[in-house]
Structure 1
Amino acid sequence: MAIPKETTNTLRGFYPLIDPYKTEYLSVSPLHSLFIQQSGNPEGQPVLYLHGGPGMGSSAGHRRYFDPAKYRIIQFDQRGAGKSLPHACLIENTTWDLVEDIERIRVALGIVHWHVFGGSWGSTLAIAYAARYPTHVTALGLRGIFLCRKKELAWMYQEGANYVYPDQWEKYSAPIPEHQRHDYISAYYRQLTSADPAVQKRAARAWTEWELAMMNMIPSENAPASVSDDFLLAAARIECHYFYHNIFSDDDAALLASVEKLRHIPAVMVQGRHDMVCPPITAWEVHKAWPEAELHIIADACHGFDEPGIVHALVTAADAFLAPEISALHISHRR
């Protein structure tokens, strides 16, 4: 399945913004309830979209990759994120809890097979889920590939991206005392789990604004200031919680190794050439281990889910996955 090369005159855009036809909460533990939205065609091909972060929550824009006349679009806010309850909670919140939550949602919604899309942390979670439950995944669409390895986290939160965004780095560094700056993730974790709400709030804004500043090739100056404190707290606390605990994995290379289990699944990876949040080296390494997965490096894109070249590639991939042979090939492989 080849995605046509994007040009200024042929770029595909988003599908129209639509409201969900059903929203509900699903209890996945005595503590956690997940907010779930379904949009599009209730009889259409099921597709699950996994949001980034972890902790960022899902948005109406994410469902615009998918033809609403042909797809049954499922989104949910992961534990502690968005409208899921309890808000910004770190208890019982691990990668493997989220993987099992996805499977609980599939069963609760009566879905046998579905496509799975995910961006940034969503790509991490999509790979982790598909590796554990490959028989239920008919196709994968991945954007801004991220495996949460130590070298990726160090680039973003310790040393690397600061050489490109020194002005934003000063704001990120400001809440952390000089003697703790050898390990920013640990220092931020202490503040984001502080008993003092004011300390948490200041750290959450600095942490999340650092990431938001690098989302798009041409960032909006007003975007960070317009984000609510509730969003910032969940995004920062949950992200830092996962990164401090190495996404609850003892093996830094385990996710990369797991793609061997996915090589029979049709997949498209879309990566911004100038992505500072999730640099292209990770997508390239995944592609080398998984050569059957198409990799599209978008020359004029960064990390944003709504950048024109990114949208073109993912909308085109989602349309292509509607082809009957995509599902037929995978279902026949499982027999």
Structure 2
Amino acid sequence: MFSNINATKDRPRDTPEVAPAAGRRSAWPMPTYLAVGRGHCMAYRTVGNPQGEPWLLVHGGPGSSCQPGMLAPLDLARQWAIAPDQRGCGASRPRGKTAASTTQALVADLEALRRHLGVERWSLLAGSWGTVVALAYAQAHPHRVRRLVLRGAFALSRREVGGLLQPSRRVQQTLVREAAWPAAPGVPLPATLARLRQLLQSGTPGVAGRRVLRRWALLESACVSNGMRRALLRAVMQTPAARASAMRCDWATLRRRQRQAQASRHRLAMHPSDRAALHKFRIQAHYLQHRGFVRPGALDAAVLGLARLGVPVDWVHGTCDAVCPPANSRAWAALGRRLAPQQVTLTEPLSGHLGGEPGMLAALRAVVRRHG
């Protein structure tokens, strides 16, 4: 069905688009497609200097996609960004499809993209769920990886997943109760995930399905907002006024969007934002129900394996992250340092979970450009 999607190939790497001038933001280009098998076509974009250091951007989710803001840590006059959307995500086709979607398949897709672009070795910049994919890729293809920069590492733990789907009382207080939401005290997490996946299978979800989509989006936003709020309260006392002001603006913008989403949560018609949420959370439920298709202990093994091979890993985690606990990165950084103390760093900026928060963005820029 999709045999003609990737008929238009990228220009060869030695004759690509002109690199942007230093200090100027590049436009976010239209995607190119690469057929990766089993009916999937992966969308990807390339931005920056194709003669420079190649960086693979690995987005979070599961179910999200690469966004223009992910380019911000890079110096695009000297670095080349490669930004693919994972199977079923973003501009990849077909959207929202979970068949033949596993973490191992995502790793194979990234390696197929590397070969397609003629990249010998690249560095990986990954965030949240993307850190799981990046570690899996680096473990499978360590000699293709220069270094890893991993933001807000996700450990696939019940604490993290339960904290989102069955949130704390503080988070619940910011939201109106939704009767259709299957997570409740005493309901096991696997049963909640199974019910969520069942509700999201239809291409045109009913009233309960639409309310679940909107509730999930609100819960995700509330957890992110909680981390931003905690960081802001500390920033008022600890950081320059300009940075605290920027953090306050970001938090206020997110809270305004939350209020708008709350006000429209009971609309009957399917909105374009509902369609995007359906694709995203269908994929997310699929991966979370299968614990990311990652065996217990596999992430620890990947960290140790990379340390033995001397692959540099920079962990960057917001001290107020309310989605993925900072303890994740602290533990893995300590594990890697046992074998390769000179190859592992840990940076903990005053921020929440998002890569675009002022403290986090400053830290990522410093780390990404440190060895440039």
Q: Quickly name the TM-score band, shorter chain normalised.
A: 0.7 to 0.9
Change in CA separation of 1:257 and 1:87 when aligned onto 2, cut-off 3 Å: same
**C-alpha deviation, 1:215, in angstroms:** 2.0
**1:316 match:** 366
Match of residue 57 from structure 1: 65
Matched, 1:246 2:291: yes
Q: CA deviation at 1:205?
A: 2.0
Matched, 1:167 2:211: no
Q: Return the offset for 1:296.
A: 1.1
Cα distance in 1, alignment partners of residues 24 and 274 from structure 2 = 29
Query: Using a 3 Å threshold, how does the CA distance of structure 1 residues 137 and 210 change in structure 2: closer, same or farther?
Result: same
1:144-201: CA deviations, max 9, x gaps? 011213343233334xx41441224654675227698333322212212247522433
Structure 1 residue identity aligned to 2:367:
A
Q: CA deviation at 1:29?
A: 0.7
Question: What is the one-letter code of the residue matched to 2:97?
Answer: C
* 1:35-76 deviation digits (Å, cap 9, x = unpaired): 110001121110001011011111011012110100111001
The root-mean-square deviation of aligned C-alpha atoms, in Å, is 2.3
TM-score under structure 2 length normalisation: 0.76
In 1, Cα distance between equivalents of 2:39 and 2:69: 29
Q: Does the 8 A contact of 2:72 with 2:361 survive in 1? A: no
1:60 and 1:177, CA in 2 relative to 1: closer, same or farther beyond 3 A? Answer: closer
Secondary structure at the aligned position of 2:168 is classed as helix
Contact between 1:57 and 1:77, CA under 8 Å: does it hold in 2?
Answer: yes
* Residue 256 (structure 1) aligned to one of 285, 295, 300: 300
User: Residues 76-107 of structure 1, C-alpha deviation per residue, up to 9 Å, x if partnerless?
Assistant: 11111111100111111111110111101100
Name the counterpart of 1:304.
354
Query: Greater Rg, structure 1 or structure 2?
Result: 2
Shift of 1:204: 1.9
1:27 aligns with 2:72: no
Q: Which of 115, 138, 153 is the aligned partner of 1:145?
A: 153
Residues 107-158 of structure 1: CA distance to partner in whole angstroms, max 9, x if unpaired?
0000000000100011111111111110000011111011213343233334
Deviates further, 18-27 or 174-183:
174-183
Aligned counterparts of 1:253 and 1:275: Cα–Cα separation in 2 = 23
| Pairwise CA distance, 1:262 | 1.1
Distance 2:178 2:306 in 1: 37
The alpha-carbon distance between structure 1 residues 22 and 196, as it changes in their structure 2 partners (threshold 3 A), is closer
- Of 91, 105, 108 in structure 2, the residue corresponding to residue 100 of structure 1 is 108
> What runs of 5+ residues in structure 2 fail to find an aligned partner?
1-22, 230-250, 262-271
Secondary structure of 1:213's aligned partner: helix
Q: Is the 8 A contact 1:53 1:121 kept in 2?
A: yes
| SS across alignment from 1:279 | coil
1:176 aligned partner: 182
Distance in structure 2 (CA, Å) of the matches to 1:207 and 1:83: 21
CA distance in 1 between counterparts of 2:67 and 2:290 reads 26
> Is the aligned partner of 1:271 residue 2:317?
yes
In structure 2, distance between residues paired with 1:210 and 1:83: 24
**Structure 2 residue 125 is the aligned partner of structure 1 residue 117:** yes
Specify every segment of 5 or more residues in structure 1 that has no aligned partner in the other structure, as ranges: 1-14, 323-335
Alignment of 1:205 onto 2:208 = no
Alignment match of 1:222 (pick from 245, 256, 270): 256
Query: What is the TM-score of this pair, normalised by structure 1?
Result: 0.84
Aligned to 1:3: none
Q: 1:53 to 1:21 in 2, by over 3 A?
A: closer
Secondary structure, aligned partner of 2:72:
helix
Against the structure 1 CA distance between its residues 194 and 70, is the aligned structure 2 distance closer, same or farther, given a 3 Å change threshold?
same
Paired positions, count: 304
- Read off the aligned partner of 2:172 and give its amino acid letter: P
Distance change >3 Å, CA 197–CA 271, structure 1 → 2: same
User: Alignment partner of 1:290: what SS?
Assistant: helix
Distance 1:180 1:236 in 2: 23
1:11 aligns with none
Q: Judge conservation of contact 1:95–1:248 (CA < 8 Å) in 2.
A: yes
Query: SS in structure 1 opposite 2:278?
Result: helix
Find the aligned partners of 1:55 and 1:138 in 2 and give their Cα distance.
Answer: 26
Percent identity at matched positions? 30
Q: Secondary structure at the match of 1:240?
A: helix
- Secondary structure at the aligned position of 1:295 is classed as strand
Task: Find out whether 1:192 has 2:200 as its counterpart.
Answer: yes
Aligned partners of 2:353 and 2:39: how far apart in 1? 33
Q: Structure 1, residues 223-273: CA drift from partner, whole Å, max 9, x if none? A: 355782232112211111100011123x32211222111111122111111
Distance 2:284 2:83 in 1: 19
Deviates more, 1:212-221 or 1:77-86: 212-221
Alignment-mate amino acid for residue 257 of structure 2: A
The one-letter amino acid paired with 2:156 is C
Match of 2:90 in 1: 82
